[in-house]
Chain A
Amino acid sequence: MAAIQIENLTKIFGQPKAVVKAIEMLSNDLDPKDVGEQTNTTIALNNVSFTIEDKELFVIVGLSGSGKSTLIRCLNLINEPTSGKILIDGEDITCLKGQSLREFRRKRISMVFQHFGLLSHRSIVKNVEYGLEIQGIDKKTRREMALETIEIVGLKGWEDKKPNQLSGGMKQRVGLARAIVTEPEILLMDEPYSALDPLIRRDMQNELLTLEDYINRTIVFITHDMNEAFKMGDRIALMKDGKIIQIGTPQEFFSNPADDYVKDFISDVDKTQIYKARNILRKDQLIVHLDDLRQDVFNLMNQKKTDICYVIDNKGIFLGQISKETLAKSRSKGIEKYVDYVEPITRNTYLKDLWSRFEDADENLPVVDSKGKFKGVLSKDDMISVLAG
């Protein structure tokens, strides 16, 4: 299911009359730069279309002035698009107004800001409560929810401090807590770690990747740092002058850069610092439940022409794998006793740290998230081709 579908999105800043004129000139295929100069407008987004999948960590990367901040602000209508559609689960949000717009912002989407955007007159817990407070949720409930979230982001004990008593990294944790406490479907992050120093930034990046398994929602992440983009993103969109130049997974960028600009942009990226198991997952395996019948599983494996299947429990937790050989030999009803436990890899592990695992194993290794849920497998061939190429 596509979570966010963006169709022909255009945003032009300027006087209303000039904007109308600029749209007309753009539709006549004139150069956007000339149009902007002649009409005295800023064309921040020029006919952008793409799709963000459900539960994806989608990164938009670009230099300042490329339109990425405008784009993310269109998603919660802080910037009202000049034209185009934004469909979220099939519903066009660009026509939302007044109360329905407020409801949308309260329940379904939230945002983390580059310079945190914290309310300096409120304590940490009251900052986190804010989104719940304006929805009219009662004091006791919202305090409980806020404290819980503060604990998740690792700020327990700081509840009653004021924002200016916190370090940058801690402030951004508050920003994150405030954004996830309302349990939105979509989390927008506008260069959340750009204002932090490098060490803190790395920690926060890793934490977000772990946290993502728990908050489990669509995340749109903006950055100007290509290393950060490739490190964080399931897929990445590279923007320049209000247009998307290339969209794809990190491997796609490296194996098939769209043009010289992209090549230039990714030339500084240190691949070993970027590729994690999640980036080259294969997701097409046969997955069976622990309580499935042996005969059914065997038939399925024949049908799919596969020699191996992966076993999960009701919650999706990885239990082990079964080879076709073992199943073929036996006659029992269930599959429980054939499950062969293999130590899985967590999906945010860097590939460079995985060499040792592959030295003594030729088969694919199962990959799980930080909760132990099965996510796919990692093959040795993929790993070699990525790190070598």
Chain B
Amino acid sequence: MFNFPEQIIFRISDIIDIGVDWILENLRFLFDFIREIIFSVYTGTEFILSAIPWWAYLIVLLIAGWRLYSIKTGIVLTLMLFSIGMFGLWDMMVDTLVMVVISVAVSILIGLPTGIFMAKSKRLERILKPILDAMQTMPSFVYLIPAVMLFSLGNVPAVFATTIYAIPPLIRLTYLGITNVNKEVVEAGLSFGSTPMQMLTKIELPQAVSTIMTGVNQTTMMAMAMVVIASMIGADGIGAEVLIAIRRLEVGRGFQAGLAIVFLAIILDRIMQGIVKKFERGM
């Protein structure tokens, strides 16, 4: 009487499983291909970022902080990065950074044109808006399951899941930036006889650039969060350290890794926000 009737229980999980099985069987080659691409990009980026000596990171950060804010901020940010090294987490930090960099780069590559098309096409806007809403409300580790199914364990599915998770704010803010360009500015562009391409490159994108950069900043922060969670499917980086600490109940080790993650997030956020402000001031 008080229980939900057994007869009408219908699990969509079975259907999804069948669908995924079909995809795996028939589109294996496609995912292997994508896997190879992500893998070589990952290896390449890791090679480059690991080849940079640790002190070069510190110097660049010091100068960036000083230029974007003040010498004081530069020193604080540099000290944060330095302490990550002191915790013995430098190599892991670089691994995390590699994954964030790739995810953000892919997000920009896909998200920017998508956002532009969304601003230009009413139909695409109607289709994409609910999808973006759904993507942003989905719990982050749900993305890990299809990633594992399609690409098994390791850094490749981690990059894949991170990109999917991190891309919505960039699409949304690109769309918002372009649709919010002042109406008279758009009319001025039209009234002088701009082509659609001139409108985009000479008026809309430059006017939207600070909004788009805010989107890149948000995407970076979300990628950062997801890369940590992706340690659950075997991603390298500081997240793996946290996972180990949880399994062994090593509180100190976990806290230290957590602090390193926070430091890295603050550094990335400050630098990106500084760049956004630079763009805004330029206007």
Contacts and interface: CB of A to CB of B under 8 A. Distances in A.
Interface of A: 73, 76, 78, 101-107, 109-111, 113-122, 130-131, 133-135, 162, 164, 178, 182, 188
Interface string B190-209: 11111100100011001101
Contacts of A178: 188
A130 B203 CA distance: 10
Given A111-B187, A119-B185, A164-B283, A104 B193 contact: yes
Contacts of A115: 182, 184
A182 B188 CA distance: 13
* Dominant secondary structure of chain B at its interface with chain A: helix
Contacts of A110: 191-192
Given A111-B188, A113-B184, A113-B188, A120 B283 contact: yes
B282 interface: yes
A257 B201 CA distance: 50
B193 A134 contact: yes
A119 B191 contact: no
Contacts of A164: 283
Contacts of A114: 184
A117 B193 contact: no
A133 B198 CA distance: 10
A134 B203 CA distance: 11
B193 A78 contact: no
Contacts, number: 71
Contacts of B209: 121
Contact of A121 (B188, B194, B283): B283
Contacts of A102: 193-195
A117 B184 contact: yes
Given A116-B184, A164-B283, 6 more contacts: A76-B191, A78-B190, A102-B193, A105-B190, A119-B185, A119-B206
Contacts of A122: 206
Contacts of B191: 76, 78, 105, 109-111, 188
Interface in B170-222: 182, 184-185, 187-188, 190-195, 198, 202-203, 206-207, 209
B150 to A, nearest CB: 42
Contacts of B282: 121, 162
B192 A131 contact: yes
Contacts of B203: 119
A374 to B, nearest CB: 35
Given A113-B188, A117-B184, A121-B283, A106 B193 contact: yes
A262 to B, nearest CB: 30
A114 B188 CA distance: 11
A117 B192 contact: no
Contact of B195 (A104, A113, A121, A134): A134
B193 A121 contact: no
Nearest to A122: B206
Nearest to B205: A121
A106 B182 CA distance: 21
A103 B193 contact: yes
Nearest to B191: A111
B107 to A, nearest CB: 24
A119 B192 contact: no
A289 to B, nearest CB: 40
Given A113-B187, A120-B283, A134 B194 contact: yes
A117 B195 contact: no
A121 B207 contact: yes
Contact of A117 (B188, B194, B283): B188
In the A-B complex, the 5 residue pairs with the closest CB atoms: A106-B193, A105-B193, A117-B188, A117-B184, A102-B193
A188 B188 CA distance: 11
A162 B283 CA distance: 7
B137 to A, nearest CB: 32
